[in-house]
Structures are given as C-alpha cells and as structure tokens.
C-alpha cells in the first residue's frame, strides 16, 4: 500500500492507497512543529485507527511547501516505516512537462494538483486549490504545465482582518443569505465568500480566454465546496485531488524507489 502526504502551511493531508489505486484512508490535521518521533507515532496511530497495518505500507511519497517540516516527516517515515519517501519535484516524471520560466520554483503541491487534474479530467484543465493560498494551475492541451495564478487564501485574509481590527468578531466561512449583510457577521461572510468567488471566477475567465479553448475547472482544498457553490466557472469539486496527484506521480516513478535499507 502507498502512503501519501501533502504537507501545507496550515494543514497536512494523509492518504493510503491500495495497489489498485483505491483509497483506504483519507485524513487531515493541522500542520505544526513536531519531532520525527511525534510525527511517526501520529501516522502509526492514524493507520491503526483505520485498520491499516503498518507493515502493509511499502511505498511513500510527499509534497511539502514548508521546508522546516519536510525533514521531520522524511525522518519519521524512514524510521517508522523503513521507507525512503519520494519527494515531489520538477525532476520526476509527472506525466506532464513543465513549460515555465523557472521550473524549479513551482511548488510541489501545484505540481501534484496539475498532474492529478490532467490524469483525471483530461487536457486542457484548470485546477483551483483553495487552501492557505489560492493556487490556480493550468495544463495545456499539449500536456504542458504552463503556470497560473496565486492569491492569498480565504483563511489568510480572515486572520489578517481579525488581527488588524479588534472589534470585528470571528466568523465561520459560510455562505451568507445575501450580498448586503444585515449584520457584521453576514457582512464579513459576504465580503469573503462572494468577494473571493468573484476573484476566482475572474481569474479563471481570463485564463480560459488566454487558452483559447474550453477546459474543465476543478476545485480542491478546504474551502472548495463553499466557493464552488457560488462560482460560475468551477465545474467540479475534488476534495483529495492533491493526494490523488501524489498517487499518480508515484505510480510513474515507483520503479526508482522502494524500501530503505
């Protein structure tokens, strides 16, 4: 079985896939500083709670956008599972080529999303990741990752708003009943949910115009369902697209990797 990890600034997602590609486990928890032992025990307990034997894990792959956390998870997987994880980069066979000014600068999570979206939804395709940051990634009809757009995420903006404005209350990121908020909570929800929906839709419209072709637009990330329900451009929500992308990338590179020692 394959262990996959998407380690982000705010949260870490974990998946386990069988040889056939079916998911045996999906989980999500907050990203935080941990020792390798703490990370290893967390994974052990998580697998045990889902009835996945530790010894059944014979491959691992991760993408990480937090350098200080990457070495911790690498050490944990090597120690607790006797595996050397594949680390996603532009040097791997992604199933798509990277047509960028500086390929090495593209975030590993963006590569995983692009690879997953291209494999699952065809080409061209647009992937919208609504996490700590909003990443919009584009794969052309020719199978090239050609870039996209990056903007601050919903939660990032909300935290900034509350940290700078002492009198505003903390609110849940839910769709309000109308754009004209009749109270402070609804006004904040309107600005964030409807405002960010407009941001995503406008970027996607411009991207599709530059592509000059129709393309499926798939959303992923923690706030995908909230925005997709209001969006005029998002056609599908794929909650675990990044993990699926990691599985796909591992499958294309697995002959190069195996159990450590």
Can you tell me the mean pLDDT for 121-134?
Answer: 96
CATH number assigned to the domain with residue range 105-110+123-242, chosen from the 4 options 3.40.47.10, 3.30.420.40, 3.90.79.10, 3.40.50.2020: 3.30.420.40
**pLDDT tens per residue across span 188-234:** 999 999 999 999 999 999 999 999 999 999 999 989 999 999 999 99
Q: Which residue has the tokens 């020692």?
A: 261
Contact call for residues 154 and 130 (beta carbons, < 8 A): yes
| 105-110+123-242 and 2-87 share a CATH fold | yes
Contact call for residues 98 and 90 (beta carbons, < 8 A): yes
Q: Where are the beta strands (DSSP E) in the chain?
A: 2-7, 11-17, 23-30, 59-64, 86-87, 97-98, 125-130, 133-139, 144-152, 217-220, 236-237
- What is the CB neighbour count within 10 angstroms for residue 189? 23
CA distance 88 to 205: 29
* Residue 166 confidence class, pLDDT cut points 50, 70, 90: low
CA distance 7 to 63: 6
Sheet holding 23-30, edge to edge: 23-30, 11-17, 2-7, 59-64, 86-87
**pLDDT tens per residue across span 137-152:** 999 999 999 999 999 9
* Residue 167 burial by Cβ neighbours in a 10 Å radius (0-12, 13-18, 19+): exposed
**pLDDT tens per residue across span 32-79:** 889 999 999 999 999 999 899 999 999 999 999 999 999 999 999 999
Closest by CA to 242, choosing from 60, 109, 130, is: 109
The CATH architecture assigned to 2-87 reads 2-Layer Sandwich (3.30)
Contact call for residues 218 and 121 (beta carbons, < 8 A): yes
Residue 163 has pLDDT above 90, yes or no: no
pTM of the entire structure? 0.92
Catalytic residues: 109
pLDDT at 104: 95
3-state helix vs strand vs coil in the chain, percent to 5: 40, 25, 35
The residues spanned by each domain of the chain are: 2-87, 105-110+123-242
């Amino acid at each position: 079985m394959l262990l996959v990890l998407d380690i982000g600034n705010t949260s870490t997602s974990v998946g386990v896939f069988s040889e056939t590609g079916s998911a045996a486990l999906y989980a999500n928890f907050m990203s935080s500083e941990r020792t390798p032992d703490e990370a290893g025990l967390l994974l052990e307990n998580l697998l045990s709670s889902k009835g996945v034997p530790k010894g059944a894990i014979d491959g691992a792959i991760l993408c990480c956008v937090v350098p200080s956390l990457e070495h911790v998870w690498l050490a944990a997987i090597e120690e607790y599972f006797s595996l050397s994880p594949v680390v996603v980069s532009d040097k791997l066979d992604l199933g798509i080529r990277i047509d960028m000014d500086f390929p090495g600068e593209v975030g590993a999570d963006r590569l995983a999303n692009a690879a997953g979206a291209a494999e699952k939804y065809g080409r061209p395709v647009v992937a919208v990741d609504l996490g700590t940051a909003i990443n919009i990634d584009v794969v052309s009809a020719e199978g090239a990752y050609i870039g996209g757009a990056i903007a601050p995420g919903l939660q990032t903006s909300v935290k900034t708003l509350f940290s700078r404005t002492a009198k505003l209350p903390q609110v849940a990121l839910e769709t309000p009943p109308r754009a004209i908020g009749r109270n402070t909570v609804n006004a904040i929800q309107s600005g964030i949910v409807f405002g960010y929906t407009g941001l995503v839709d406008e970027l996607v419209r411009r991207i599709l115009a530059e592509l000059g072709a129709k393309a499926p637009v798939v959303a992923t990330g923690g706030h995908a369902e909230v925005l997709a329900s209001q969006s005029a451009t998002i056609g599908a929500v794929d909650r675990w697209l990044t993990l699926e992308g990691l599985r796909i990338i591992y499958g294309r590179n697995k002959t190069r990797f195996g159990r450590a020692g």
